[in-house]
Amino acid sequence: MDIMDAVRERHSVRKYTDKPIEGETLHGLLAVIDECNRESGLHIQLVKDEKAFDCLKARYGRFSGVANYIALVGKDTPELYELVGYYGEKIVIRAQMLGLSTCWVAGTYKKIPGAFDAEPEEKLTAVISVGYGANKGVQHRSKKPEKVAPDYDTAPEWFRKGVDAALLAPTAINQQKFMFLYNGGKVSAQALRGPYSMIDLGIVKYHFEIGSGKGRDVWK
Ligand SMILES: Cc1cc2nc3c(=O)[nH]c(=O)nc-3n(C[C@H](O)[C@H](O)[C@H](O)COP(=O)(O)O)c2cc1C
């Protein structure tokens, strides 16, 4: 599966089978987590067989069978949320390529102290459930590209492809509160007001880079 297939096929999955993550798949998942931590300085961890989804909030959120999640931990700085969004989504897309399903979760879980490591200056921002999905999820409803990118019709094709990929990204309550502006070959990306919209910003910037084929130097 190539990376754009993974972007297209990824949907949030909240119901999992009891098949454990092991062998090459586990190895691949741990490898991308390691790679992200080395690049970002974050302290992201895979938590296996734990009880964060065994609570009323998670049942209300329609989660079942969650045996593993990724704890998005990092130093409590102003950049933390965008950073977690970017690298968390890199892990999500790699998980999809490994045949796993995921769901970003900032609200409908319970923090279990001791289940993950966090230094005193670090904080758990959100988690991502991960495992073999009992279903493939469904395509979310989406805003029109012109709504999130006023330059969509006049900008180059790579910009349009980047915006299209961003609109396929997960966002909190599917709010899609972001904006991409094209300016002389560079792009500025902004988060609008909304719950967790700074995490969303990191997520959609990662999708934009994949869709457009541009590197991190595309950002203004
Ligand atoms: C930062 C963030 C937080 C989220 N928190 C939750 C949550 O607490 N509970 C939940 O069920 N889904 C949560 N989601 C999943 C979104 O509802 C989902 O991504 C969105 O509806 C789009 O659907 P899709 O991921 O299938 O494309 C969250 C997503 C993001 C990006």
Contact 168, 8 (CB under 8 A): yes
Q: How many angstroms does the Cα of residue 154 sit away from the middle of ligand 1?
A: 31
Going along the chain from its start, the domains and CATH numbers come out as 3-131 (3.40.109.10), 145-218 (3.40.109.30)
pLDDT value of position 116: 95
Ligand 1 pocket: which of 13, 105, 168, 197 to mutate (most atoms <8 Å of CB)? 105
What residue type is assigned to position 181 of the chain?
Answer: L
C-alpha dihedral sign at 24, 62, 8, 90: negative
Task: Write the single-letter amino acid at 214.
Answer: K
Q: Is 92 in the pocket of ligand 1 (CB under 6 A)?
A: no
Q: How many whole angstroms from 102 Cα to the centroid of ligand 1?
A: 10
Mind listing the pLDDT tens digit for each residue in 10-57? 999 999 999 999 999 999 999 999 999 999 999 999 999 788 998 888
Report d(CA 101, CA 65) in Å as an integer.
12
Identity of the amino acid at 177:
K
Asked if 76 contacts 122 with a C-beta cutoff of 8 angstroms, the reply is yes
- The predicted pLDDT at position 50 comes to 82
CA of 184 to the centre of ligand 1 (A): 33
pLDDT in tens, 147-179: 999 999 999 999 999 999 999 999 999 999 999
Sequence-ordered list of residues with C-beta below 8 angstroms from that of 89, at least 6 positions apart, any chain? 169, 170, 202, 203, 206, 207
Tell how far the Cα of 158 is from the centroid of ligand 1, in angstroms: 27
Band (pLDDT 50/70/90 cuts) for residue 101 is very high
pLDDT in tens, 192-213: 999 999 999 999 999 999 999 9
Q: What SS3 class is residue 170? A: coil
**How many angstroms separate the CA atoms of 2 and 182, rounded?**
27
CB 179 within 8 A of CB 192: yes
Contact 151, 182 (CB under 8 A): yes
Quick check: CB of 170 below 6 Å from ligand 1? yes
Instruction: Find out whether the beta carbon of 196 lies less than 6 Å from any atom of ligand 1.
Output: yes
CB 127 within 8 A of CB 103: no
